[in-house]
Structure 1
Amino acid sequence: MKNIAKYTSIALLGTLSLTTLSCDDFLDRQPQGRFTTETYPAGGLTQYVYGMYSDLRAWGVHAFAFVGITSITSDDADKGSTPADAADQLALDNFTVLPNNGLITDFYRSHYTAISKTNIVLQQAEEFKNSISPEDYVRSQAEARFVRGYLYFNLVRTYGRVPIVDRVFKEGDNFNIPQSSKAEVYNFIEQDLQFAAMNLPTTWGPEFPGRPNSYAAQGMLAKVYLYQQKWSSALASAKAVINSGMYNLSTPYNQIFTEAKENGPESVFEIQAVYTQTNRFGTQYAQVQGVRGSGDMDLGWGFNVPSQLLANAYEANDPRRDATILFRGEITPYGEVIPASVPNERYNQKVYTDPKIRVEANNRQGMWVNIRILRYADVVLMAAEAANELGGAANTDDALMYLEMVRARARGSNAAILPRITERNQAALRDIIRHERRIELAMEHERFYDLVRWGIAGEVLRAAGKNFVTGKHELMPIPQGEIDKSAGVLTQNPNY
């Protein structure tokens, strides 16, 4: 393909998406609604915006370290793979993690690399201000600030105090920036996401699936507020998404994570990937979690497997269990059999792929799979949680209504399961909503952070057999290499 060398460095297809297609349509057509090396719009501000999005697919941002830090640490997942494989992942699973852990370092550095791309977009927007429309000028800033806000949200949840880098460094600048407090980082995130919510479009054209809109920013804001127990603000932002009418829970639960339902009606924000024999700009997110088998069942590396505790947590006959967990020996929705010889009893079904697409891509390990970051069901459950925490009869009514929306979709046409919740006691309903989040969002990188923000991580994770130390393991250590390079400007988190 022409010009491939020129554009590989900006990692094409940063915003690109697999559209909602039948399997046959998926196999028969070229990527639609996304640029290829033949059609990429070279030059101008666009190249910087697309380069920014591409970093969201990076190995260090949303692959191996991501599943370890956000999921394997929880009671819902185990390390998986084989016992001797990946000592750094085992340390996360057991909470024996040290400041020199490679995954901790990779996640930290890769997030700052991605943040630098957002700052470049903001810088270049100023450079191109007089040659682009006012709409493009503001919109590009809003996109960059949405992505930057999301990246800093990951950092503050993981490390607590981190440096705020809000510009592109130039010669003579002080590169050695001290950490800001958690409150300062959260304030910075709020400002970015508020700007994005005000200035992103409500919709994008069909040629740009996956680009965040104003409701994606509101949904992310709702979560940022929730983490700070700003219940009124969280509820208002969640309701802005709900009342928009842009999203719904019409997709059956067992289809949400199929390729055909990428960017479906409950996708608020998901990271785009494409991997065909001619356009290979994928992500290793599914690869590191896929079934670790042989031959046709060599679907990945087998990390981040659902725990027995998660398997036991579902209500009787909840169909979400079978849609989330692949069990050794089971017949899959595509008619494949998970061999009895695979090393783990369970695997993450939310990264299980269509075998026809594996053939088309000449790849078995899901490099084309999008990464769902924010689903509408998550927003609805955030609204339920915030409404319950605010209390009062009307808010309790709303909390129960939102809870029922999620359970009704999961229940489907089977009225004999997942009964409507009628509990009105705030403490009891709090526990019910928390459990619903666990089940609805299982293996979606919410559980560990939820346990921490609820203040129950120590109690729950020690009961799960993990070596969690309260007052220490709520945060990961600041990478020792970063502290060393800073000559002590960066300081370590407590008790490491």
Structure 2
Amino acid sequence: MKKYIILIVLSVLAFSCSEDLDQTPISEQGSNNFYRNTADFESAVNGIYSTLQNYPVYQFYLSETRSDNLYAVSPTGVRAYDPINAFDLSLATNTIVADNWNTDFTGIFRANTVLDQLNEELVPDAATFERLMGEAKFLRAFFYFDLVRTYGKVPVFDRVYTPTETLEIPRAPVAEVYELILADLTEAVNLLPSSYGSDSLGKVTSWAAKAILGQVYLTRSGPTYGIEGPGLNSNEYNLALEQFNDIIDNGPFDFVNDYASIFDYNNEHNEEIIFNIEYVSGGTGVGAEYPSIPVPDGYLRVNSVGFSNGETAKQVATDLINSYEADDIRDDLDILQGYADLNGNFNPVPFYTKYLNLDRAGQDRFDWGLNYPIVRYTDILTMKAEAILMGGTGTQAEVDAAVNAIRDRAGLTAIAGINLATLLEAKRLEFAGESRRWHDLVRTGTVVNTINSWIEDEDVQNRMLPMDENQIIFPVPSSQITVKEGLYQQNEGYD
């Protein structure tokens, strides 16, 4: 079976302003002469997918590390993730915060370039034309959704702008950003096919568009916290449920009974997977880094994984470890409680091994061949349960059924009368290491109290500051603030 690989170098498309990505959001002249036929547009759309290569890494640092799942403090305190974990107020100069902003706008620029140039004369086959447009619109919406959840207000670029033009476009209100996201996803649902052949695995489908559309409605429905963040208190839970129920009732997906098999390198396109990022190992630029990101340097060294990451582990929180019930099979599958180093000394530092298979190590720590699941069927079940508990139309039986399916797969007994707190705890254990927890807490209005209570109990090294509502979103990178005085205002609460 041929695997569709997203990591494609588009040397023909000269992104000549790449060195200026830290100065303006994204814009440059389009490559008008490049687009001559369908094959050129296929290559260009593949280039949009390639922007997703580091998405799992950024999600780990900006959401998993931010959550109560990890106590991610390095010995020296100088790693880029340290201030993210600590709720530091000077994150505007943080490299991870800046790189995520730049990468998302790179993807948006690439999508806009395709959409600006795509026409029926160059792509005469109607189905292909619609599919290419649907892919570009889906991916543009996906990058904007990440931006609005991460930074709140951002500039809206619905076409390719020149660098000079970008200097006149301010950050748009969150509601306006969502207008573009919803329009793109709604159109993508109608344009994209429901499935592909084996030569195009990994491309987005109409089901993937429905899944993200439902997630957008769910996120918009969350509380505002008095900030210009991702929640609009829009009460669109039933709109979210329309998407989730359609996927559950009519989609080709299913609940996989064997939890470990979901993340098996030999079972990547299992029935759980609705949308993932494709990777293959075999060399620089085609493999994934994310499986080794949580893993301590010593563990990689002792297992002969080259190019170790020079890190101690991003330690799994004691509170998370203690939340597993005794019979929960996911505990040992997802977390290793420590390791023996090259000198035989045991290091009792717990870390995620959910995506790690040492037998499948590539050339170095950047070269794992496991696909990254952005949305899986269990996401849909649990988001449906969340929408019902937050006020959408549904029954307690549906909520209980979703959580008990997860519990049964984990080797646990059924429970009844599940409320929001129980659902969030069930999701925390099910998606540990999958960068879901932070967004779940934000959507449900529970993030500030949960995190501050956790900091009080867990921060044994006194590395962390208490968080407030302003830190639900990150600051605009300082390089964007300084490019033109007065164009962007910094998010409240940050230096």
TM range (shorter): 0.7 to 0.9
Moved more, 147-156 or 42-51: 42-51
1:419, distance to aligned residue in structure 2 (A): 2.1
Secondary structure class of the residue paired with 1:281: coil
Q: CA deviation at 1:274?
A: 1.4
Paired letter, 1:326: L
Residues 399-421 of structure 1, C-alpha deviation per residue, up to 9 Å, x if partnerless?
2222223223223xxxxxx2222
Closer, same or farther in 2 for the Cα pair 1:304/1:280, shift >3 Å?
Answer: same
Matches within 5 A, 1:268-307: 268-276=274-282, 281-293=286-298, 294-298=301-305, 300-301=308-309, 302=311, 303-307=313-317
Q: Is the 8 A contact 1:306 1:347 kept in 2?
A: yes
For the residue of structure 1 that corresponds to 2:178, the secondary structure is: helix
**What is the match of residue 399 of structure 1?**
399
Q: Is the 8 A contact 2:241 2:387 kept in 1?
A: yes
Percentage of identical aligned residues: 27
**What whole-Å deviation, never above 9, does each CA across 1:276-310 have from its counterpart, x for those lacking one?**
25x85123222333342224254753554422111
2:241 pairs with one of 220, 229, 235 = 235
CA deviation digits over 1:425-468, x for unaligned, max 9?
xxx61211111111111111111122122222221111222423
2:188 is matched by which residue type in structure 1?
A
- One-letter amino acid of the counterpart of residue 112, structure 1: F
1:409 counterpart residue number: 409
Task: Give the aligned partner of residue 33 of structure 1.
Answer: none
1:319 lines up with 2:317 in the alignment: no
Q: 1:131 to 1:246 in 2, by over 3 A?
A: closer
Counterpart amino acid of residue 45 in structure 1: F
| Shift of residue 85, structure 1, vs aligned partner | 6.1
Contact preservation (8 Å) 1:452, 1:474: yes
Letter of the structure 2 residue corresponding to residue 494 of structure 1? E
Question: What is aligned with 2:216?
Answer: 224
Kindly indicate whether the alpha-carbon contact (under 8 Å) linking 1:122 and 1:141 is maintained by their aligned counterparts in 2. yes
Could you say if the C-alpha distance between residues 214 and 321 of structure 1 is closer, same or farther in structure 2, counting changes exceeding 3 Å?
same
For 2:466 and 2:77, locate their aligned partners in 1 and report how far apart those are by CA, in whole Å: 22
Amino acid at match of 2:95: G
The residue aligned with 2:471 is 473
1:83-162 alignment to 2 at 5 Å? 83-84=75-76, 86-98=78-90, 99-126=92-119, 129-162=121-154
User: Which amino acid in 1 is paired with 2:291?
Assistant: A
Q: Which residue of 2 aligns with 1:73?
A: 66
* CA distance, structure 2, for counterparts of residue 405 and residue 448 of structure 1: 23
Counterparts of 1:168-179 in structure 2 under 5 Å? 168-170=160-162, 173-179=165-171
Question: In the alignment, what sits opposite 1:347?
Answer: 351
Whether the 8 Å CA contact 1:77–1:443 is kept in 2: the answer is: no
Find the residue that maps to 2:250 and give its secondary structure.
coil
- Please state if 1:267 is matched with 2:273: yes
Q: Normalising to structure 2: TM-score of the pair? A: 0.81
Secondary structure, in 3 states, of the residue corresponding to 2:253?
A: coil
Query: 1:107-149 CA distances to partner (integer Å, 9 max, x unpaired)?
Result: 11111111111112212323x6444311111111111111111
Unmatched 5+ residue regions in structure 1?
Answer: 1-6, 13-40, 331-336, 412-417
Deviates more, 1:128-137 or 1:216-225: 128-137
Shift in Å, 1:171: 7.7
Question: Is the contact made by 2:52 and 2:277 (CA closer than 8 Å) also made in structure 1?
Answer: yes
Contact kept, 8 Å, 1:287 with 1:366, in 2: the verdict is no
**Native 8 Å contact 1:143 1:212 kept in 2:** yes
What residue number does 2:368 align with?
367
Query: Which residue identity is paired with 2:209?
Result: A
CA distance 1:161–1:344, shift in 2 (3 Å): farther
Structure 1 match to 2:181: 189
Distance 2:196 2:392 in 1: 37
Could you say if the C-alpha distance between residues 181 and 125 of structure 1 is closer, same or farther in structure 2, counting changes exceeding 3 Å?
A: same
Provide closer, same or farther for how the CA distance between residues 280 and 105 of structure 1 changes in structure 2, counting only shifts above 3 A: closer
Aligned residues of 2:288 and 2:366 also touching (Cα < 8 A): no
* Cα deviation code 1:133-173 (max 9, x no counterpart): 11111111111111111111111111111111111124864
Structure 1 Cα separation of the partners of residues 342 and 374 of structure 2: 27
Q: In 2, Cα distance between the equivalents of 1:246 and 1:346?
A: 37
Matched with 1:31 is none
Change (3 A) 1:344 1:139: farther
Q: Does 1:438 align with 2:442?
A: no
Paired with 1:276 and 1:251, the residues of 2 have a C-alpha distance of 31
Is 1:457 matched up with 2:475?
Answer: no
Question: Taking structure 1 as reference, are residues 170 and 93 closer, same or farther at Cα in structure 2, changes over 3 Å only?
Answer: closer
Give the Cα separation in 1 of the matches to 2:338 and 2:111.
Answer: 42
Q: 1:246 aligns with which of 248, 252, 255?
A: 252
* DSSP-derived class of the 2:469 partner: coil
1:52 touches 1:117 (CA, 8 Å); kept in 2?
A: yes
Structure 2 unmatched runs, 5+: 1-7, 14-36, 222-235, 456-463
Quote the Cα distance in structure 1 between the aligned partners of 2:150 and 2:345: 36
2:41 paired residue number? 45
Q: Offset at 1:192?
A: 1.2
- TM-aligned CA deviation for residue 175 of structure 1: 4.1
2:167, 2:39 → 1: CA distance? 29
Q: 1:311 to 1:120 in 2, by over 3 A?
A: same
Q: 1:370 to 1:304 in 2, by over 3 A?
A: farther
Distance 1:374 1:10, change over 3 A: farther
Q: Partner amino acid for 2:487?
A: V
- Structure 2 counterpart of 1:463, which letter? S
CA contact (8 A) 2:191 2:206 kept: yes
Shift in alpha-carbon separation, 1:216–1:10, aligned structure 2, 3 A: farther
Instruction: Say if 1:187 and 1:207 are closer, same or farther in 2 by CA, change over 3 A.
Output: same
Distance 1:422 1:136, change over 3 A: same
| SS at structure 1 position matched to 2:490 | coil
Q: Which AA in structure 2 matches 1:483?
A: I
- Matched with 2:224 is none
* Aligned partner of residue 451 in structure 2, secondary structure: helix
Deviation readout 1:41-96 (Å, 9 max, x if unpaired): 995211101111111104xx432x4321111111101226x412643211011111
Alpha-carbon spacing, 1:462–1:231, altered in 2? closer, same or farther (3 Å): same
Mapping for residues 422-437 of structure 1, pairs under 5 Å? 422-423=416-417, 429-437=419-427
1:233-262 per-position Cα deviation (integer Å, ceiling 9, x unaligned): 111111111112411122511222221121
The change in CA–CA distance for 1:363 and 1:75 in structure 2 (over 3 A counts) is: same
Change (3 A) 1:304 1:201: farther
The alpha-carbon deviation at position 178 of structure 1 amounts to 0.7
Counterpart Cα distance in 2 of 1:492 and 1:342 = 45
CA RMSD of aligned residues (A): 2.6
Q: Matched residue of 1:122: which SS? A: helix
Q: Does residue 414 of structure 2 align to residue 420 of structure 1?
A: yes
- Contact 1:275–1:282, Cα closer than 8 Å, also in 2: yes
